Structure 1
Amino acid sequence: MQYIFYVIIGFVIFEFVLSKTLSYLNTTKWSNKLPKELEEIYDEKKYAKSMDYEKAKHRFGNISDIITFNITILLLLFGLFGGLYNYLMNFTQNTILLTLYFFGIIAFLQSVFSLPFSYYSTFVIEEKFGFNKMSKKLFFVDFVKGLILTFIIGGIILAIITWLYTITKSNFWFYAWILITAFSVFMMMFYSSLIVPLFNKQTPLEKGKLRDEIEAFAHSVGFKLDNIYVIDGSKRSSKANAYFSGFGPKKRIVLYDTLIKDLTNNELVAVLAHEIGHYKKKHTLQMLSFSIVQTGIMFYVLGITLGYGEVSYALGGNVSAFALGLLAFGILFTPISIIFGVIGNILSRKNEYEADHYAAKHYKANKLKSALIKLSRNNLSNLRPHPAYEFFHYSHPTVLKRLHALDKFINKNKKHS
């Protein structure tokens, strides 16, 4: 038991040290003077503002991470997770109810604990740099809605997984894998139509020049597109985005109203050409397949972990419990999770280059370039992260690298024309 306890503590420390080391390395790339390679994107004033934004996020991130780390260590050292489970056993012996109560209390306390950090990030940092558009009322409404969704959806899934464990034991991991895979596919299909409307208003893009240009491009590349929506992202942030979701008749492209405001029609079509490129290159299916494999391995390892009752005792429990085993697994799986994260980011960065290439080939490379520049400038993006930080954390190549790749494509086409 002592051995497992120290392994759990060691993994928590390992993750924290790795995170802070990468964060520190990232600061070594900061420069008070505008780097020459960024002159195409930033002027001196805008670059200084982007650095101030990056530093503010870094300082606040360090404070919140240190506090969270210390609280986690204290909870483990004093066996409070096990103590909570032992206390709940006074009210019921039902494994499903115990698991729901245990994680429900933890989820609630974690949400309340993170609330002031989220508030500060939104109404101090994001507000200071002109990004926040959210009212305090909307902030708290979002918090309550998110908490309710967590309890309903998370509770149902957790209850089913716990039930599967109680009746299948050795084959538990396989049935849980099937369940989560089915849920993931369902959410990919219906997230935009079921969950997003709870937080944002989505309206079909009105008929006009922009819609005509989008539909004309989609038709030219053989992409059937009926569902184009505009989402009111501006009620929360001035940052812009666009995304593609769903399959078959449920596929839709969603544009943030801030994106429509910031970009020209040609730039918007270039961004959508990029999103269509993801679909044409089957990136969505690729990443879904990767996620399914990752989930399968995760549940297989979870099944092995649950076979060792010592993990429950290491957390302070008086009995071998599914809930405590699941919590311990979340920590013990950290190294594998980090590896999966790195692999996922490598695949994602490759896919971004391919989608850029698709947009450049089938539409206008220069318009995609100008769109990327505008979005980076408006979002005060950090365009020169440390390579190690980028390797571990970036799901997209830096805009600077994407621009260089687009320039190569443009120059190559000029030579062949």
Structure 2
Amino acid sequence: MQVALIAIYICVFLIPSVVVDILQYRHIALALTQRPVILPRADYIQAGKYALQKLKISISQHFFNALLFAFWILYGLCLVNDFIENYHLPRGKNLNCVAMILAFILISQILSIPFKYYTEMILDKRYGFSKQSNQTFVIDLLKGLGMTIVLGGAVLYLLVYTIYFFEYWWFYGALLSFVVIVLVNFLYPTWIAPLFNTFTPLKDENLQARIEGLLVSVGFKSSGIFIMDASKRDGRLNAYFGGFGKNKRVVLFDTLLDKVSSDGLIAILGHELGHFKYKDLLINLLVSGIFLFAVFFVIGQLPQSFFDELEIKKNAGNLLILLILLAPVISFWFLPVIGFFSRKAEYRADEFGSSLASKQALAEALIRLVNENKSFPSSHPAYIFFYYTHPPLLQRLKALDYEF
């Protein structure tokens, strides 16, 4: 069974993922030999080289993850199970299962640190993005691991309890996970994000008045407009609306204010408000819920013989570890569904945002974002199909009737 499971992982996930990345790599490499579009030649070449480097990392990580998957299936699950059972730490069936899952998650996260470090501290610095120090990197890493242990442990305990308490545990487990996602989205702006960044109220009164007028025009009630000190870690530009209900807030990266005109900023925020107007966030949550139920359902149907052949017990800990291991495989084939609806929503949000400013203002702001974020403006259709939640810039500009 172990060999068959690894073979399925390779055929269904590893090979398709690598093939799609290779197609994208060849597409960009060929595009770099042709006349630049949208971006100035120097920026176009730099964006292409950055994309190629990211794809090399992605391909390497796919193979590393496959080796890690094989390790867990062949040896890791048995080792973790034996350790928890032999040393009985901590005591209690539920806590033992939580300890198993946390050990699995923490080991996997620690082993992936080299990829994270190379991307953020070497590659991103080379291309002028990352500004964080090694100290900040380590502190963020420790904060993330701490949240995994504390908050993740609490959620895992509830999931373990659900598995042992309910006959149709997969349904209630998916429902609980969905509630947690909604709760995290609600708490993120005021409780989680401030652990990593500082948020200060917008001081530009003219810009604040324009943004507040924009919010009123679409009935968006927020708890304030805030500037996030993104520049202490990264030079990329972004803005977003976070939270639900009274926790909703407008967040602007400090890097954005110096790079984009007021009209462009209004157009970008108008685009984000388009998502609010058309309930795109609720739709995304619904789609995420469907994915969660699909993953939990698949794991919930695994027979006792499956665990016998893996030489592990069919307990809550092993069920949830297998869920985490197999989720990327299922999500890879679910991503095109998410991407299809998301790209349609982006076109609709672009149209709404341009109506609040102008098509010209939004188009120029998008070009500025792509330029500053070093996003290559063209992609292979297969890569778009699997991974793009936003249409490629060229297609968005055409929809905005922008001439280039």
Per the normalisation by structure 2, the TM-score is 0.93
Structure 1 residue aligned with 2:140: 142
Superposed CA RMSD? 2.0
Cα displacement (A) at 1:216: 2.2
Q: Is the 1:174–1:296 Cα contact (8 Å) retained in structure 2? A: yes
- Unaligned segments of structure 1, at least 5 residues: 411-417
> Which of 378, 382, 391 pairs up with 1:388?
382
Structure 1 residue aligned with 2:344: 350
Aligned residue for 1:90, secondary structure, equals: helix
Q: Is the 1:11–1:334 Cα contact (8 Å) retained in structure 2? A: no
Q: Which letter does structure 2 place at the counterpart of 1:312?
A: F
Q: Is the 2:190–2:247 Cα contact (8 Å) retained in structure 1? A: no
Aligned residue for 1:223, secondary structure, equals: coil
Q: Is the 1:210–1:265 Cα contact (8 Å) retained in structure 2? A: yes
Which shifted more, 325-334 or 288-297? 325-334
Q: State the Cα deviation string for residues 233-292 of structure 1 (Å, max 9, x = none).
A: 111100011111223322211111111121111111111000111000111111112222
Note if 1:124 corresponds to 2:128. no
Structure 2 residue aligned with 1:413: none
Structure 2 residue aligned with 1:107: 105
Cα displacement (A) at 1:33: 4.2
Q: Is the 1:238–1:258 Cα contact (8 Å) retained in structure 2? A: yes
> Which of 291, 294, 297 pairs up with 1:297?
294
Structure 1 residue aligned with 2:247: 250
> Which of 145, 162, 165 pairs up with 1:164?
162
Q: Which letter does structure 2 place at the counterpart of 1:86?
A: D
Note if 1:397 corresponds to 2:391. yes
> Which of 331, 335, 338 pairs up with 1:341?
335
Aligned residue for 1:244, secondary structure, equals: strand
Structure 1 residue aligned with 2:55: 58
Cα displacement (A) at 1:32: 5.8
Aligned residue for 2:251, secondary structure, equals: strand
Structure 1 residue aligned with 2:170: 173
Q: Is the 1:294–1:340 Cα contact (8 Å) retained in structure 2? A: yes
Distance 1:298 1:396 in 2: 25
Q: Is the 2:199–2:229 Cα contact (8 Å) retained in structure 1? A: yes
Cα displacement (A) at 1:70: 2.3
> Which of 230, 235, 238 pairs up with 1:238?
235
**CA 1:8 to 1:334, structure 2 compared with 1: closer, same or farther past 3 Å?**
farther
Distance 1:364 1:135 in 2: 40
Structure 2 residue aligned with 1:415: none
Which shifted more, 218-227 or 113-122? 218-227
Which shifted more, 296-305 or 129-138? 296-305
Q: Which letter does structure 1 place at the counterpart of 2:86?
A: N
Distance 1:183 1:67 in 2: 30
Q: Which letter does structure 2 place at the counterpart of 1:66?
A: F
> Which of 75, 78, 82 pairs up with 1:82?
78
Structure 2 residue aligned with 1:414: none
Distance 2:143 2:331 in 1: 28
Distance 1:301 1:323 in 2: 16
Aligned residue for 1:302, secondary structure, equals: helix
Distance 2:79 2:53 in 1: 38
Distance 1:65 1:338 in 2: 12
Distance 1:331 1:33 in 2: 37
Q: Which letter does structure 2 place at the counterpart of 1:228?
A: I
Q: Is the 1:80–1:315 Cα contact (8 Å) retained in structure 2? A: no
Note if 1:281 corresponds to 2:278. yes
Cα displacement (A) at 1:118: 1.3
Structure 2 residue aligned with 1:183: 180
Cα displacement (A) at 1:334: 5.1
**CA 1:65 to 1:339, structure 2 compared with 1: closer, same or farther past 3 Å?**
closer
Distance 2:330 2:314 in 1: 24
Cα displacement (A) at 1:137: 0.6
Which shifted more, 339-348 or 374-383? 339-348
Q: Which letter does structure 1 place at the counterpart of 2:87?
A: F
Aligned residue for 1:243, secondary structure, equals: strand
Distance 1:300 1:123 in 2: 39
Q: Which letter does structure 1 place at the counterpart of 2:94?
A: I
Q: Is the 2:274–2:353 Cα contact (8 Å) retained in structure 1? A: yes
Q: Which letter does structure 2 place at the counterpart of 1:309?
A: Q
Q: Is the 2:226–2:251 Cα contact (8 Å) retained in structure 1? A: yes
How many residues matched?
A: 399
Q: State the Cα deviation string for residues 306-328 of structure 1 (Å, max 9, x = none).
A: xx2233334342x3332223323
Structure 2 residue aligned with 1:21: 19
Distance 1:75 1:285 in 2: 36
Distance 2:252 2:271 in 1: 13
Q: Is the 2:44–2:376 Cα contact (8 Å) retained in structure 1? A: no
**CA 1:331 to 1:372, structure 2 compared with 1: closer, same or farther past 3 Å?**
same
Cα displacement (A) at 1:207: 4.4
Aligned residue for 2:227, secondary structure, equals: strand
Q: Is the 2:227–2:251 Cα contact (8 Å) retained in structure 1? A: yes
> Identity of paired residues, percent?
30
Q: State the Cα deviation string for residues 362-383 of structure 1 (Å, max 9, x = none).
A: 3211111111000101111122
Distance 1:19 1:75 in 2: 20
